[in-house]
Amino acid sequence: MMLSQTAWFSQNGYPVTAAYIYDKEGLHHKWESDLQIPLINFKGWRFKAHPLVNVWLLLGGLWRLWRFLRKNKIEIIETFTPHSDLVGLPVAWLAGVPIRIGCYQGIIHTMTAWQTKVHASLIRTPIATSFVGVSNQMVDLAIQAGISPEKVVMLPNAVNIPAPAVETELRSQRERLRQELGVPPDGVLTITSARLDKEKGHTYFLKAIHALVVKFPQTVFAFAGDGYLREDLEREAAKLGIQGNVRFLGVRFDMMALFRAADIFILPSLAEGLSLALLEAMTAGLPIIATRVQGSQDVVLHGESGYLVEPGNVESLRSAIESLLAKPELWSRFGQRGRQIVLEGYTIESVCRRYADYFQTLRDARE
C-alpha cells in the first residue's frame, strides 16, 4: 500500500518519497526498477546478523531517517505498520515533522510483549498527530485501545485496476500456470496469499483441507507467500497426507496472473487490517471464502460475493469450502459482485484522493 500510494502521489505532482528501515526480502532494486518512484532503504537491520551488530545498524538507520526528515523539511510522515509506528513516529517527532500519521492494526501476534506495551503507550501520546484504521472495525478497536476518536480516520487499503489490455495478458497465462501447479484438466485451483505466520491461520486451513481431499481429490490448494512457519506447515501437510493436493509457492511476483488462474480465493486469517490479497482476488473476479475478521467484514458480503466463516474454526472453514466447491454455478456471480465492490470503493485512484483530502485537512488545521 505504501508503494502504490507513493506512486499515485508522485504521478499526481506531489513531492513524495517511500522509505523503510530495512529491506526484508531484498526487493529494493526490483521495486525501484518497476515503479520508478523515489525510494530509500535506510539499511537499519540485517537478518542473521549478531544482535549487537543490528543494534548498531538500527541506530544508524534511525539517524539517517532523522537527518533525511530534517534536511528535506518533510511536512507529513505516514507509517504503515505497527513496527514502523514504533520507530518512525518518535524520530519524526524529534525531527520536527509537524504532521505524523500512524497506523492502527489491532493486536499484532508478531510483536513481542514489550513492543506491544510500548505501542500501546505510544498511541495515547501527542507523538502521533492521528491514526489511520483501514476498516470500520479497526477504527472501533483503535478507539477502544485509547486513541481519541477525533484522531482516528478510516481510510481503506486499495488496489490498482489493470487496464483491459493488461487484463487480457494476465488471463492468457491461466492454462500455463495451472499446468505448472499440476492442476488436473477437470480440477479446481484455490489460492491463498499471505505471509506464513501464526496470525494467518494456515494451520487451521490445512486441517480443513485434510477433511476435504477425499471428497474433492482433484482440488489443488496453493499457498503463495513465505514466512517463518513454512517448514512447519510443509511438515504438517505431509503428516496429514495432503501434500499431493497442496502447493507452497513461496514469494511470487506474478500474483495478478495467479489470481486469474485460480477458481476460488481463501483467506483463513485469525486477524487482518484489510487484506490487499483479498482485494486483488476480488478484482480478479474470484469468489471468496474469508474469516469474519476486521476488514474482511467490510468487503465480503456473505452469500453475495462469498462466504464469511469464524476464525480458527476448522469445521466452519471446511463446510464453507465444501459448499463452494460443490456449487461452481455460484463462482461467476460471487466473483462479479466482489469485483463490483472493489471498483466502487477500493481503487487506488479513489482512496488516494481521499488521502490527499485528509492530508489537506490536517494542513489546514495547523494554519
One pLDDT digit (tens) per residue for the chain, 367 residues: 999 999 999 999 999 999 999 987 788 888 888 888 889 999 999 888 898 999 999 999 999 999 999 999 999 999 998 889 999 999 999 999 999 999 988 766 666 777 778 877 888 889 999 999 999 888 998 898 888 899 999 999 999 999 999 999 999 999 999 999 999 999 999 999 998 988 899 999 999 999 999 999 999 999 999 988 999 999 999 999 999 999 999 999 999 999 999 999 999 999 888 999 999 999 999 999 999 998 899 899 999 999 999 999 999 999 999 999 999 999 999 999 999 999 999 999 999 999 999 999 999 988 7
Q: Does an H or E element contain 39, and which? A: strand 39-41
pLDDT at 109: 62
Report the half-sphere exposure of 7 (CA within 13 A, side-chain side).
15
Place of cell 520508478: 36
Return the bridge partners of 152, or none. Answer: 131
**Are residues 124 and 218 located together in one domain of the fold?**
no
**Are residues 340 and 355 located together in one domain of the fold?**
no
**Are residues 219 and 335 located together in one domain of the fold?**
yes
C-alpha cell at 153: 480516520
| Contacts with 194 (C-beta within 8 Å, 6 or more apart), sequence order | 200, 202, 224, 225, 267, 269, 275, 277
Do the beta carbons of residue 212 and residue 325 sit within 8 Å?
Answer: yes
**Are residues 114 and 170 located together in one domain of the fold?**
no
Do the beta carbons of residue 231 and residue 200 sit within 8 Å?
Answer: no
Q: Which domain holds residue 174?
A: 164-345
**Are residues 124 and 227 located together in one domain of the fold?**
no
Overall domain count for the chain: 2
Do the beta carbons of residue 97 and residue 69 sit within 8 Å?
Answer: yes
pLDDT at 108: 66
**Are residues 351 and 299 located together in one domain of the fold?**
no
**Are residues 101 and 193 located together in one domain of the fold?**
no
**Are residues 209 and 309 located together in one domain of the fold?**
yes
**Are residues 21 and 63 located together in one domain of the fold?**
yes
**Are residues 196 and 324 located together in one domain of the fold?**
yes
| E strands, 76-218, in order | 76-78, 99-103, 130-133, 152-154, 188-193
pLDDT at 110: 65
**Are residues 354 and 335 located together in one domain of the fold?**
no
**Are residues 354 and 329 located together in one domain of the fold?**
no
